[in-house]
């Protein structure tokens, strides 16, 4: 994209998942990756899980959490929807949707006012604490309780539990990140860890739970419109010089301006500034907010190329479809949520006319006039070419410089940072310093910012979207699995029993769910874990695509859409 298309308009699914978390982490501690692996919950005395439902979205992480609780770890679950982990939690805080900052600032108020701050850590390793402490003085639990819906005594108890623990860890999901104030939500979590010194040790730290198997690796490799690999800014002259040298091109070939994000690209299509798109392994016709508008934008392109495994809803709009390879049909590496680079080996040949993804990309490069002869031909399982690509990655990405392809073949998995060959890798980071210019972490105060769209008389309910255990994301693969589709064959909307009674609806009835952008028809399911006044719709079903309803308003820092909050109404379908 950067050489062949001459543009930084390249983005991927993290923009719809954890871009706001990454923005806050880069700003606050200099790294967008997790500080500790998930299994460190076994070493923690207290674990906070906020804005996540791990038993559905991260089952392996959920198993570690359950094992930790069984061994004595105290779990605090914070989420408007009651997930399965609430049954084993020491405290469950069902705060009102959209009130994360109010709740978290109230916790910090307690920590500051009751002298629970780790003063030595703050003095030695952070900056900006005074402004943060002054900001949270106005957020007493008593003042915030009516806003967030959690009583002041519970807020105080949880704050004390987290701050006084020998080792406390925070894990969060898209319930934190997918808001117009998602970056502020993450800033508060970072501040909690910093003011209590709960980072840089086993059993502590910050862990934004990544869902997809290589979302961390895609971010690390530079599939971001403002970053080269390893989060080196495209508007940095030094970074452009390094990559121009690595790619053997004049520095003038590299665009010095950050590109457009996923949602911004759709707006640019509407404005006539983008004429073509190349979409690889994503399904924006289902996953983008305000999906009707996104589909219209895709249909208006002069050229749409889709590289995928199946005829997705996006591929149905394409001018050209390139048949791609599945994970078991190619050799390469994945980087998981724990920062572990893992080897993936080909065990099946791609079927029919499908091709290795790297073969397709190299052939595209040749036809765009790029000299990629150094990679050689992509033949057989492509491993020789993959090894050369990986070698280029480790020479342009300091975080994985010590991971050779040969080592990956021998060991199977290595955790980064791994700065030199022979280094074991670092599962726990920020032990002595943070990767910032000063070596210190930075506190960033946050104030309450309401959702872009609020309930009113016409649209009195709040829509929350997400995944379910049986179907992944837009269902491109899982809904083609007969066993999984038999378990959850049809779209449903979950509502609290009190709301069903108020509206005169019976479980199983067909209803219309309508927002200012669209309408879907689906069966209603009683779920008293859904908050009163809220509805939950999984976004895997093309028959009732939840993103026909959602709001495309963006967080100003992470440029992530507000998937977790929009106003809707529910009516019985005639």
Map tokens 């983005």 to a residue.
Answer: 11
Do 239 and 224 form a contact (C-beta atoms < 8 A)? no
Q: How confident is the model at residue 186 (pLDDT cuts 50, 70, 90)?
A: very high
Q: What is the pLDDT of residue 376?
A: 84
69 Cβ contact partners less than 8 Å away, ≥ 6 residues apart: 75, 88, 89
Q: How confident is the model at residue 488 (pLDDT cuts 50, 70, 90)?
A: very high
Q: How many CA atoms lie within 13 A of 423 on its CB side?
A: 17
| CA separation for the pair 222, 236 (Å, rounded) | 14
Map tokens 């002069």 to a residue.
Answer: 302
Q: What is the pLDDT of residue 15?
A: 87
Q: Is the pLDDT of residue 210 over 90?
A: no
Determine phi and psi for 232, rounding to 5 degrees.
-95, 125
| pTM over cut 0.85 | yes
Q: Where are the alpha helices (DSSP H) in 73-211?
A: 100-113, 119-125, 129-136, 141-148, 152-164, 174-177, 182-195
Map tokens 């993103």 to a residue.
Answer: 547
Average pLDDT (15-22) is 91
| CA separation for the pair 45, 73 (Å, rounded) | 5
Beta bridge partners of 342: 334, 413
Q: How many CA atoms lie within 13 A of 47 on its CB side?
A: 35
State what percent of residues in the chain have pLDDT above 70: 100
Q: Is the pLDDT of residue 211 over 80?
A: no
Q: What is the pLDDT of residue 311?
A: 96
| CA separation for the pair 405, 384 (Å, rounded) | 10
pLDDT in tens, 443-483: 999 999 999 999 999 999 999 999 999 999 999 999 999 99
pLDDT in tens, 243-291: 999 999 999 999 999 999 999 999 999 999 999 999 999 999 999 999 9
| CA separation for the pair 121, 197 (Å, rounded) | 6
Q: How many CA atoms lie within 13 A of 368 on its CB side?
A: 14
Do 80 and 68 form a contact (C-beta atoms < 8 A)? no
Average pLDDT (487-508) is 97
Q: How confident is the model at residue 213 (pLDDT cuts 50, 70, 90)?
A: confident
HEC assignment per residue over 352-409: CCCCCHHHHHHHHHHHCCCCCHHHCCCCCCCHHHHHHHHHHHHHHCHHHCCCCHHHHH
| 3-state SS assignment for residue 335 | strand
pLDDT in tens, 369-382: 999 988 888 988 89
pLDDT in tens, 520-540: 999 999 999 999 999 999 999
Query: What is the rounded average pLDDT for all residues in the chain?
Result: 96
Angle subtended at Cα 397 by Cα 393 and Cα 402, rounded to the nearest 5 degrees: 85
Beta bridge partners of 280: 307
Q: Is the pLDDT of residue 14 over 90?
A: no
Token pair for 119: 């003063």
Q: What is the pLDDT of residue 560?
A: 95
By residue count, the chain amounts to: 574
H or E stretch covering 415: strand 413-415
Token pair for 504: 């005169």
24 Cβ contact partners less than 8 Å away, ≥ 6 residues apart: 183, 184, 186, 187, 190, 444, 557, 558
Map tokens 């091709």 to a residue.
Answer: 355
pLDDT in tens, 46-69: 999 999 999 999 999 999 999 999
| CA separation for the pair 384, 406 (Å, rounded) | 11
| 3-state SS assignment for residue 310 | coil
Going by their DSSP bridges, the two strands 74-78 and 91-93 should be labelled as parallel
| CA separation for the pair 63, 56 (Å, rounded) | 11
Q: What is the pLDDT of residue 373?
A: 86
pLDDT in tens, 76-103: 999 999 999 999 999 999 999 999 999 9
| CA separation for the pair 459, 544 (Å, rounded) | 19
134 class by beta-carbon count within 10 Å (0-12 exposed, 13-18 middle, 19+ buried): exposed
Map tokens 């996923």 to a residue.
Answer: 262
Q: Is the pLDDT of residue 236 over 80?
A: yes
Map tokens 């028959």 to a residue.
Answer: 543
Map tokens 């397709």 to a residue.
Answer: 360
Determine phi and psi for 479, rounding to 5 degrees.
-75, -5
């Amino acid at each position: 994209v950067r050489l062949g298309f001459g543009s930084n308009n390249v983005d991927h699914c993290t923009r719809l998942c954890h871009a706001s978390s990454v923005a806050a982490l880069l700003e606050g501690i200099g790294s967008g990756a997790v500080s500790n692996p998930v299994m460190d919950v076994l070493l923690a005395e207290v674990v906070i899980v906020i804005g996540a439902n791990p038993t559905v979205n991260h089952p392996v992480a959920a198993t570690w959490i359950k094992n930790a609780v069984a061994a004595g770890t105290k779990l605090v679950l914070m989420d408007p929807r009651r997930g399965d982990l609430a049954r084993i939690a020491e405290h469950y805080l069902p705060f009102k949707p959209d009130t994360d900052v109010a709740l978290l600032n109230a916790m910090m108020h307690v920590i500051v006012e009751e002298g629970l701050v780790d003063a030595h850590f703050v003095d030695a390793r952070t900056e900006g604490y005074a402004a943060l402490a002054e900001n949270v003085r106005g957020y007493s639990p008593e003042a915030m309780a009516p806003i967030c819906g959690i009583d002041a005594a519970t807020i105080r108890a949880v704050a004390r539990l987290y701050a006084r623990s020998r080792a406390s860890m925070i894990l969060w999901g898209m319930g934190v990140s997918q808001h117009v104030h998602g970056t502020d939500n993450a800033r508060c979590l970072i501040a909690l860890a910093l003011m209590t010194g709960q980072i840089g040790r086993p059993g502590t730290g910050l862990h934004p739970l990544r869902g997809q198997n290589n979302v961390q690796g895609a971010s690390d490799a530079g599939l971001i419109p403002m970053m080269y690999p390893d989060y080196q800014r495209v508007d940095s002259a030094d970074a452009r010089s390094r990559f121009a040298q690595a790619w053997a091109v004049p520095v003038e070939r590299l665009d010095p301006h950050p590109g457009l994000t996923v949602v911004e690209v759709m707006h640019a299509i509407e404005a006539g500034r983008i004429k073509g798109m190349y979409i690889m392994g994503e399904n924006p016709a289902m996953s983008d907010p305000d999906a009707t508008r996104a589909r219209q934008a895709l249909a208006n392109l002069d050229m749409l190329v889709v590289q995928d495994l199946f005829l997705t809803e996006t591929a149905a709009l394409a001018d050209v479809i390139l048949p791609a390879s599945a994970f078991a049909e190619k050799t390469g590496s994945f980087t998981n949520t724990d920062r572990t680079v893992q080897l993936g080996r080909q065990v099946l040949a791609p079927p029919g006319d499908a091709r290795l993804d790297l073969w397709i990309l190299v052939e595209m490069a040749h036809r765009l006039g790029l000299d990629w002869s150094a990679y050689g031909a992509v033949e057989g399982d492509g491993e020789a070419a993959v090894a050369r690509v990986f070698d280029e990655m480790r020479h342009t990405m300091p975080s994985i410089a010590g991971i050779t392809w040969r080592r990956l073949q021998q060991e199977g998995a290595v955790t980064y940072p791994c700065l030199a060959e022979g280094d074991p890798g670092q599962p726990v980071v920020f032990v002595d310093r943070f990767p910032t210019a000063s070596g210190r972490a930075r506190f960033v105060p946050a104030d309450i910012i309401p959702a872009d769209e609020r309930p009113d008389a016409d649209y009195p309910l709040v829509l929350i979207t997400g995944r379910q255990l049986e179907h992944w994301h837009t269902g491109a693969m899982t809904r083609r699995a007969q066993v999984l589709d038999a378990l959850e064959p049809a779209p449903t909307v979950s509502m609290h029993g009190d709301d069903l009674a108020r509206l005169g609806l019976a479980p199983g009835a067909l209803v219309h769910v309508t927002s200012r952008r669209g309408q879907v028809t689906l069966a209603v399911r009683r779920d008293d874990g859904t908050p009163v006044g809220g509805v939950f719709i999984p976004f895997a079903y093309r028959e009732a695509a939840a993103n026909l309803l959602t709001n495309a308003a963006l967080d100003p820092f992470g440029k992530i859409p507000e998937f977790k909050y929009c106003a809707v109404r529910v009516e019985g379908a005639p």
